[in-house]
């Protein structure tokens, strides 16, 4: 089941599992030392999928103006052992629908790792601007029209 919660609605176990999943993938698996705890979780909407009391997929959503001019999605992650089940696609579709139904904006913006270009393009995002390094990993800014 996929759910969306504000920071204050998360229980301690959910928060711990979210931070652990992000650390497992973004810090350990991708061998990238960076400050994941960036004081933005408190203003984010946390979208996650639970299977057997384990968070297996996650995104965080920002309202217009909290990160970009438009609503945005970030920290898109699926646990390594649960990849290949289209969980990333499912949680992104849920996140896009959440934004359409609950937040104001004509576009969704995100900063995508460039190797995931096709994944995001298949969801209707398009690249804008030049590639750049974020925490030593090639990224690109992408946009999706929602209205």
* Residue numbers of the chain with a pLDDT score lower than 50: none
DSSP one-letter code for 9: G
- Which pLDDT does position 34 carry in this prediction? 78
- Which pLDDT does position 105 carry in this prediction? 81
Residue 18 CB-density burial (10 A; 0-12 exposed, 13-18 middle, 19+ buried): buried
pTM for the model: 0.95
> In sequence order, which residues have a C-beta less than 8 Å from that of residue 44 and are 6 or more positions away?
6, 7, 60, 61, 62, 66
- What are the structure tokens assigned to 122, written together? 């298949």
Q: 2-145: which CATH topology?
A: Aminopeptidase (3.40.630)
- Which pLDDT does position 40 carry in this prediction? 95
- Which pLDDT does position 31 carry in this prediction? 84
- What is the dihedral sign for C-alpha 9, 15, 21, 23? positive
């Amino acid at each position: 089941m996929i759910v969306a919660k504000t920071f204050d609605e998360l229980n301690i176990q959910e928060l711990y599992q979210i931070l652990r999943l992000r650390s497992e993938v973004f810090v350990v698996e991708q061998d990238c030392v960076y400050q994941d705890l960036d004081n933005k979780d408190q203003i984010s909407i946390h979208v996650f999928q639970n299977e057997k009391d384990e968070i297996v997929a996650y995104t965080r959503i920002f309202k217009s103006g909290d990160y970009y001019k438009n609503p945005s999605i970030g920290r898109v992650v699926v646990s390594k052992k649960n990849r290949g089940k289209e969980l990333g696609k499912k949680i992104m579709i849920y996140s896009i629908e959440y934004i359409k139904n609950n937040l104001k904006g004509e576009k969704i913006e995100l900063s995508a790792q460039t190797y995931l270009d096709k994944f995001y393009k298949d969801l209707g995002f398009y690249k804008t601007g030049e590639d750049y390094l974020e925490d030593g990993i090639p990224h690109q800014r992408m946009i999706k029209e929602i209205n």
